[in-house]
Structure 1
Amino acid sequence: RLESLGKTAVIPPKRNRTRPRDYDRDLYKARHLIENFFAKLKQYRAIATRYDKRATNFLGAIYLAASVIWLN
């Protein structure tokens, strides 16, 4: 159904699927990196629960946490 709408599969199919489908391996690698980054970002409690009320303060906290993740 998604292929008829012009969508492409990014997640690889299960190994025991009767009709295997193709997927973009490079796009899946990029998606995996982004998902891992968000998982690491959510480890910071202030970001996961959004302590800051103002959007600018929250964005600053995200920048700070992202830079700490990038430097490690």
Structure 2
Amino acid sequence: MPHSFWCSPGTPLGSGRKRGTLCQAIERSRGGITTKILALTDALGNLVDFCLMPGPAHDLRKTDTLVRDLSAGHLLADSAFDADWLRNDLLERDIIPIIPPKSNRKFPATFDKETYKWRHLIENYFGKLKENRGIEMRSCKTD
């Protein structure tokens, strides 16, 4: 799988993880064994690229690999992606970040609220995934 960057080469087998989950995007948290999907869609809500991460990992952890080759006019994301390095990277590539600031920011960044309303398309995509879980997603423990 091209986006399986979680396991570093040369990780010893006795690293505390069970067999079969060593290089998988799966991890135990208080809620159980979880996996997180980080998805990139086009303007119509169709999937462009995705990567899997362990559930407790922060969303920004693999964002740079997902948007590395992105060419677009705007990037709409929720406030979990509010980071200065991401905003600066997008602006250098002439991509306008439409990301609401986190509530704890001392100097909140501005964003276009009207354009941000179109982010419902990605939420619709995840709703379709949850609706058709048996068809579109495998329900096994590894990626």
TM-score normalised by the chain length of structure 1: 0.53
- Please, what is the CA RMSD of the aligned residues? 1.6
Structure 1 segments unaligned to the other structure (5+ residues): 50-72
Match of 1:18 in 2: 106
How much identity, in percent, do the aligned residues show?
25
State the aligned residue count.
48
Q: What do residues 18-50 of structure 1 show as CA deviations (whole Å, max 9, x unaligned)? A: 22111111221111x11221111102021234x
Any unmatched runs of 5+ in structure 2?
Answer: 1-87, 139-143
Matching residue's letter, 2:125: F
Higher helix share goes to which structure? 1
Distance in 2 between the 1:6 and 1:18 partners?
25
Aligned to 2:135: 46
Asked whether the 8 Å contact 1:9–1:22 carries over to 2, the reply is no
Bigger strand share: 2
Closer/same/farther in 2, CA of residues 19 and 4 from structure 1, 3 Å limit = farther
